[in-house]
Amino acid sequence: MLSDVNDIAYRRMIASHPVLTGVRPAHEVLPGLRRNLILHAAPPATWQTMSETMRGGMTGAAMFEGLASSAAEAAAMAAAGQIEFAAAQDHGAMAGGVGSITASLPVMVIEDRSNGNIATHFLMEGLGKTLVAGACDAEVLARLAWFRDTLAPLLDAAIRAVGGIDLRTIMAEALTQGDELHNRNRAATNMLLNRLAVGLLGLPADPSTHRRALDFIAATPQFFVGTVLPAAKLMLRAAHGIPGCAVVTGIGANGRDCGIQLSGTGNRWFTAPAEVPRGILQPGFSVVDAAPACGDSLCVEAAGLGAAVLPAAPALWPAIGATAEGAIRYHADAQTLALGEHPHYRIPALGGRGAPVGVDARRVVATWTLPVIDIMIGHRQPGIGMIGMGLVSPPLTCFQQAVAALDGGYCPQLPDSDPPGASAVPVSKLGLDSRMADARPATTVA
């Protein structure tokens, strides 16, 4: 019976077919998004329990939305309950990093052609200070205003002019061009840019605006990831709601807690304190500066991309502190947890093997093998932003709680041969190089 439900989940996930259909104001496509509500990375957080970094992102969003004229005013309103918060994944949206979605912010709209579901994500802001990294100043707000007033309507028109953009095709090709589609999206961004350029050529001529749009995207190598998070979520959502199924269909970290949802346990989040990613920090920063993991992008690995296909992206290895051997091991671990291989997303460096689709929480619990995610590392203090890149895993206890809830008190048999020790993710397992010797030990889980 378990293999039956996993088979149903697998077939639904690989049928998911993401297409970029437009860039619209969030309130148009997310009906529940009232003006004083800010959507953030899962699991759900309150202002009182929110991390400092995420608070920085939220006050910036409130200023962009015109709810407050300063960070202090936004903080006071949030503390008084005048600004509300919810997890983006509970509202048809995705929020990478400490990013946020508010009513007037433009979002990329991704439709699953296999079932009509949609998912959305904000436009990536590029290099320098960004709201997605928790920074907010006049430059950040001016860029977001340009997104809202100029870039988003232009991209929306270009996407419609070409009849939508097939993301599955781009993602499949990008995996043969050195992208793993989480923290490396250079080839995919170039392919998206080509399609957008064709669309722009069909619009009334406005060369300087068109050129600024193309130049911005060309200078934003992670632009495409704003479509990958929704595409990954659509794959997970296709498998949601199967009774008895332990496949992960929601996963995220909000800078304080990490949480997961399973297919068979409805909309409940199973949470535990998020770990601090270990990796490569920029000069001048040390591990004590690093914030716990944050962002809905953990869904990328749950879908079978990102670190699960890290052998596809050798140029990313040194940036996150991984070795070739580590990359092979993360993929092998992901295969241990997966339902099967993806027929479209194939990795030439692995002899054309398909990406490992899905994470079966029962296998996580039974084997103590955790998904590995490559991720941006943010500073603990708001306003500083990204300080490095590395790897992180969700705590084992999230999976143990979720499986117990699904199976009504089910307690996994501990394997005799592979004691987990005191650490959820032994540093030795992550295959990190010597630069990471000073990394913070993994959080101990009960």
210 is a contact residue toward a second copy (CB under 8 A) = yes
Judged by CB, which is closer to a second copy: 127, or 324?
A: 324
Q: Which of 137, 139, 149, 215 binds a second copy (CB under 8 A)?
A: 215
Interface characters, 325-364, with a second copy (x: CB under 8 A): -----------------------xx--x------------
Side-chain-facing half-sphere of 75: CA atoms under 13 Å: 13
Judged by CB, which is closer to a second copy: 352, or 421?
A: 352
Tell me how far CA of residue 184 lies from CA of 108, 174, 210, 348, in angstroms: 19, 10, 25, 16
Residue 211 CB, shortest distance to a second copy, in Å, is 5
Residues 295 and 223 sit within 8 Å (Cβ to Cβ): no
Judged by CB, which is closer to a second copy: 315, or 414?
A: 315
Judged by CB, which is closer to a second copy: 72, or 201?
A: 201
Judged by CB, which is closer to a second copy: 36, or 176?
A: 176
Candidates 23-31, 257-265, 275-283, 311-319: pick the segment binding a second copy (CB under 8 A).
311-319
Residues 269 and 252 sit within 8 Å (Cβ to Cβ): no
DSSP string, 356-423: EE--BHHHHHHH-PPP-EEEEEEBSSTTT-EEEEEEE---HHHHHHHHHHHHTS--PPPPSS---TTB
CA-closest candidate to residue 177, choices 166, 198, 191: 191
21: tokens are: 């259909």
Residue 191 CB, shortest distance to a second copy, in Å, is 6
Q: Which of 36, 177, 367, 423 binds a second copy (CB under 8 A)?
A: 177
Q: Which of 29, 76, 77, 197 binds a second copy (CB under 8 A)?
A: 197
- Backbone region of residue 403 per phi and psi (left: phi > 0; alpha: psi in -120 to 50; beta: other values): alpha
Q: Which of 72, 79, 127, 315 binds a second copy (CB under 8 A)?
A: 315
Residue 433 CB, shortest distance to a second copy, in Å, is 11
12 is a contact residue toward a second copy (CB under 8 A) = no
- Distance CA(128)–CA(122), nearest Å, equals 17
Candidates 36-44, 236-244, 312-320, 428-436: pick the segment binding a second copy (CB under 8 A).
312-320
Could you give the angle at which helices 207-218 and 152-161 cross, rounded to 10 degrees?
90
126 is a contact residue toward a second copy (CB under 8 A) = no
Host H or E run for residue 278: strand 278-281
Q: Which of 28, 52, 166, 173 binds a second copy (CB under 8 A)?
A: 173
Candidates 91-99, 187-195, 396-404, 413-421: pick the segment binding a second copy (CB under 8 A).
187-195
Judged by CB, which is closer to a second copy: 29, or 193?
A: 193
- Distance CA(250)–CA(339), nearest Å, equals 16
211 is a contact residue toward a second copy (CB under 8 A) = yes
Tell me how far CA of residue 264 lies from CA of 5, 18, 109, 233, in angstroms: 10, 23, 27, 16
172 is a contact residue toward a second copy (CB under 8 A) = no
Q: Which of 116, 207, 284, 409 binds a second copy (CB under 8 A)?
A: 207
**Cβ atoms within 10 A of the Cβ of 264, count?**
23
> 260 in helix, strand or coil?
strand
- Distance CA(346)–CA(223), nearest Å, equals 22
Cβ within 8 Å of residue 147, ≥6 positions away: 105, 106, 123, 125
* Chain residues in the site for a second copy (CB under 8 A): 173, 176-179, 186-187, 190-191, 193-194, 197-198, 200-202, 205, 207, 210-211, 214-215, 218, 314-315, 317-318, 324, 348-349, 352
